[in-house]
A and B are shown apart, each in its own frame.
Chain A
Amino acid sequence: MASLSVGAALLIRWLLDPLLGNNLQLLTFYGAVVIAVWFGGWRPGTLAAVLGYLAADYLFIPPRYQFVVDAAAIAGFMGYTLCCIVIIYLGERMHQANESLIKESRERREIENILAEEKELLSTTLASIGDAVIVTDTRSRVISLNAEAEQLTGWSVMDAIGQPFKNVFQILNERTGKPADDPVEKALRLGMATALANHTVLVTKDGRHVPIDDSASPIREAGGAVLGVVLVFRDVTQQRLAERERGHLAAIVEYSGDAVVSKDLNGVIQSWNASAQRLFGYLPDEIIGKSVTLLIPRDRLEEEEQILSRLRRGLPAERIETLRVAKDGRQIPVSVSVSPIKDKDGRVIGASTLVHDISERKRWENQLADQARLLDLSYDAIVVRDAVETIIYWNKGACEAYGYKREEAVGRVIHELLQTEFPEPLERIRAKLHQNGRWTGELAQRRKDGARIVVVSRWVVDRERNNRLGYILETSNDITERKRIEKQLLHHREELEHSVAERTAQLNQSLRSLEELLYTIAHDLRAPNRAMQGYSHLLDAEYGTQLDETARGYLQRISAAALRNDALICDLLEFGRLAHTDVPVTAVDARRVAEAAVEDVQAEARKRHATIEVAGEGWPLVAANATLLEQVFCNLVGNALKYVPAERKPHIELSAKVDHGLATLQVKDNGLGIPAENQANIFEPFTRLSNAAGSDGTGMGLAIVRKAAERMRGKAGVESQAGEGSSFWIQLPLAPREGKRPRTP
């Protein structure tokens, strides 16, 4: 550097030499020193000064081309040296300053490079991490946010930068719905990291609510002053769902009515829920970590071995019903289901055991078994089925009736199995069953051997407490045989009825013939009577004058005998007819019949100067046969006229009264009366009172009265005292009220 600069200075001075001559010989060499010092420091500067002087002294200072030491030279040299020292000193200082400046700027460039790299790294990191990050300054203004934050908040970087943090990051308490604390403000206020309260939701720019988790930390510079806040948050929607699900599952397990116990493959208990505690009596602390064999009766330990060996092979254990031991030593009937617990890779790491207390059911089953034994004693087929008609119980009687064994029947749908035919639509039966709790009917069913049978089935519902249909008890009797017999009986009955009808018709026919015969006989028997009477009359009328008193008396006797014979035949006929002919009964006005009867005997009454009164009131409508009733009245009034002492004028009263639904019709006279000893038999046929005044009675009149009364579902009787008149009565049922048909006996 020194040589170059001196060389350059030498060249320039040499070129300028013609111009300068011997003046300013050292001028350019000052420049060389300056340059050497600037670029090379004091050492090249000093060298350049020495070399420059030597060159200048030799070449340009007169005398040229030789070194002369004189005063002038020394003075010049001194000045030059002085000048050079000053230049070198100053140049050195400048050189040094420049050097450090260059170094400094180079270092700065290097730091800037590092920083840029770091920043790149940081932003790449921020962009690539799943969490959203927002940075604010101390005045809560957003300085930056990463892509995830953009996406979560809905704010773009362009819109968000410089905005108040609260605008960009609005959060609510998920439970209360009220704005939650501003984490940035809190971090700034407290000067320390804060985490968001649980249950925070972020309200995005477009109004969606997103559950988040976050934390805010103040950013401090080296000195500790807070520069801003960095907020890190993330979407926890999935996490929340998972948590909720886990919470549900945990709650289910914890509050499950069944004991839930988990164990590892060595049979060591890992978890113990509340029901397990309740069932076995161990607290979780007492049992977790202990062997599950604590819960197993000694004689059943191989059970657990089998369960574990199945589990190790990854197979779920079948549900088994067994016994387990409680803390107090009690053995509890339980059903146990074991399922393997697998890790993420599908390896079995343990098992979860569900233990269900079945003591109640066992008790019930035992009770049921007892009852079932009793039910088996019944000859009836007894079937218990549930509401969907699945057979639950099937007694021995059912086995015998249908031919299906219990195990063949239980679990089947009853009326499918038996191919039941119902007497009415099943829907209607179900409705009745639901409404009344019971149903009875005849069903046609099919036995296992294919035979169709008929049963009488009684269904009763065992209602559950909530009144829903529970079990239904069907009790059935095989009535096939009975049905067959019934059918036969019906057939026999029909035959019988038929033959009875035939016989009745025959009987009626012969009865009619008999009746006709009777009339014919009567007709033929009566004709001679008429003839006897007639000829006696004619004899008396035409030849009476030629006969004496005695002969005429005989004639009268013949005539009377003929008449009595005729009357007797008529009465017998009447009595016989009463006994066997139909007596149609209608509603009859008793008063009108009484009046008609009185009218019939009017001639006789006049002859005897009798008074006959028919009561004006109290006459009911009776159920009677008008003709018969009239005859009854005729006979009674006729008797009343007949059996009166000769000196007494007959007085007859007809009346009626109603008592207890019966009408009593009365014929009261003032005649001879009937001695008490005779009252019992006067209604018998052919009974005539010995003290009868006339001889014209047949002895049939009262018999006809009683028979007639009986044929009309009534009775006849008399109240009388000898000498004080009689009161004959007949009792008849009242006519049914209007609207009802009269009865026909």
Chain B
Amino acid sequence: MRKVLAYVDDSPDDLFLFRAACKLAEVRLNLVMIEGGAEAIRYLDRTDQYADRTQFPEPDIVLLDLKMPGVDGFAVLRHLRSDPARAECPVGLLTSSNWPGDIEQAREIGATWYFLKPPDMARLIEFVTVLDECLHDATACPKVETRLSEFSS
């Protein structure tokens, strides 16, 4: 049974490249790409077509972009954490912001990780590879206090 990874980003490029990187890295993940925060809320709430759990499986891990128009990453995170069933669900923020205020806020709301977006494809592939290992082997998992530079330049 493949783990389900949901990646929420407002940038179609980032979504596309993430999927390409996963493909190149040959990760054993079932990918759910969600464009934008509002859509993510609808997915999580099982609104309309998202009620179909076979087509839209419950994610085992969620990656959230932070800066999104309308509903941003924090809002989605807050929404996730407001559901007791998803309280323990690993949620990583994947953002190009290393603004300390953002990192602090993410920690407060209950993000599991805070990742900086890898600036190039090679490092993105490396990132998804580690992430894949992590999901299948807890010991390889980066800790909550992950160093920001771990997956970035």
Contacts and interface: CB of A to CB of B under 8 A. Distances in A.
Interface string B69-111: 0000000000000000000000000011101001000000000
A368 B120 CA distance: 96
Nearest to B20: A538
B119 A527 contact: no
Interface string A529-555: 111011111100100000000000000
A322 to B, nearest CB: 95
B150 to A, nearest CB: 9
Nearest to B66: A523
Interface string A493-525: 000000000000000000000011001101110
Contact of B119 (A523, A526, A536): A526
B97 A523 contact: yes
A566 B120 CA distance: 9
Contact of A531 (B13, B96, B149): B13
Interface in A703-737: none
Please tell me the size bucket of the interface on A: 20 to 34
B67 A523 contact: yes
Contacts of B20: 534, 538
A474 to B, nearest CB: 62
B25 to A, nearest CB: 12
B121 interface: yes
Residue in A533, A541, A566 whose Cβ sees the most chain B Cβ within 10 Å? A533
Contacts of B16: 534
Contact of A538 (B17, B67, B117, B149): B17
Interface in A305-336: none
B122 interface: yes
B17 A527 contact: no
B120 A559 contact: yes
A152 B101 CA distance: 118
A534 B119 CA distance: 9
B124 interface: yes
Nearest to A573: B98
Contact of B99 (A515, A538, A567, A600): A515
A600 B149 contact: yes
Interface residues of B, number: 23
A537 B153 contact: no
Contacts of B149: 600
B144 to A, nearest CB: 18
A528 B11 CA distance: 10
Contacts of B13: 527-528, 530-531, 534-535
A600 B149 CA distance: 7
A688 B121 CA distance: 26
Given A515-B99, A519-B97, A523-B97, A538 B121 contact: yes
Contact of B120 (A516, A519, A522, A537): A537
A566 B14 contact: no
Interface in B129-153: 147, 149, 153
Contacts of B147: 600
B51 interface: no
B96 A522 contact: yes
B17 A531 contact: yes
A563 interface: yes
A600 B67 CA distance: 27
A530 B99 contact: no
B17 A534 contact: yes
Contacts of A537: 120-122
Nearest to A525: B96
Nearest to A581: B100
A541 B20 CA distance: 10
B147 to A, nearest CB: 8
Contacts of A566: 119
Given A520-B67, A541-B24, A526 B122 contact: no
B108 to A, nearest CB: 17
B24 A527 contact: no
A527 B120 contact: no
A529 B14 CA distance: 11
Contacts of B95: 523
A567 B153 contact: yes
A530 B97 contact: no
A200 B120 CA distance: 136
B145 to A, nearest CB: 13
A559 B119 CA distance: 10
A600 B24 CA distance: 26
B33 to A, nearest CB: 15
B41 to A, nearest CB: 21
Contacts of B121: 533-534, 536-538, 559
A527 B94 CA distance: 13
A259 to B, nearest CB: 98
Contacts of A541: 24
B17 A530 contact: yes
A562 B122 CA distance: 13
A524 B11 CA distance: 10
A570 to B, nearest CB: 8
Nearest to A529: B119
A37 B20 CA distance: 212
B105 to A, nearest CB: 12
A395 to B, nearest CB: 68
Contact of A526 (B17, B24, B96): B96
Given A527-B13, A534-B20, A534-B124, A563 B96 contact: no
Contacts of B122: 537
Given A533-B120, A534-B121, A541-B24, A527 B153 contact: no
Contacts of B14: 527, 530-531
A538 B20 CA distance: 8
Nearest to B9: A527
A519 B20 CA distance: 27
B136 to A, nearest CB: 23
Contacts of B21: 534
A234 B37 CA distance: 137
Contacts of A559: 120-121
Residue in A522, A534, A536 whose Cβ sees the most chain B Cβ within 10 Å? A534
Interface in A352-404: none
Contacts of A524: 67
A533 B13 CA distance: 11
Nearest to B125: A537
A515 B97 CA distance: 11
Nearest to B16: A534
Interface in A455-507: none
Residue in A516, A519, A563, A600 whose Cβ sees the most chain B Cβ within 10 Å? A519
A713 B149 CA distance: 26
Contacts of A515: 99
A563 B121 CA distance: 10
A537 B122 CA distance: 8
Nearest to B124: A534
Contacts of B24: 541
Interface of A: 515-516, 519-520, 522-524, 526-531, 533-538, 541, 559, 562-563, 566-567, 600
6 contacts: A520-B67, A527-B13, A533-B120, A537-B121, A538-B20, A566-B119
Given A527-B96, A541-B24, 14 more contacts: A519-B99, A522-B96, A522-B97, A526-B117, A526-B119, A527-B13, A529-B119, A530-B14, A531-B11, A534-B120, A535-B13, A537-B120, A538-B121, A559-B120
* Top 8 closest pairs, chain A to chain B, by CB: A537-B121, A534-B17, A531-B13, A566-B119, A533-B120, A526-B96, A523-B67, A534-B121
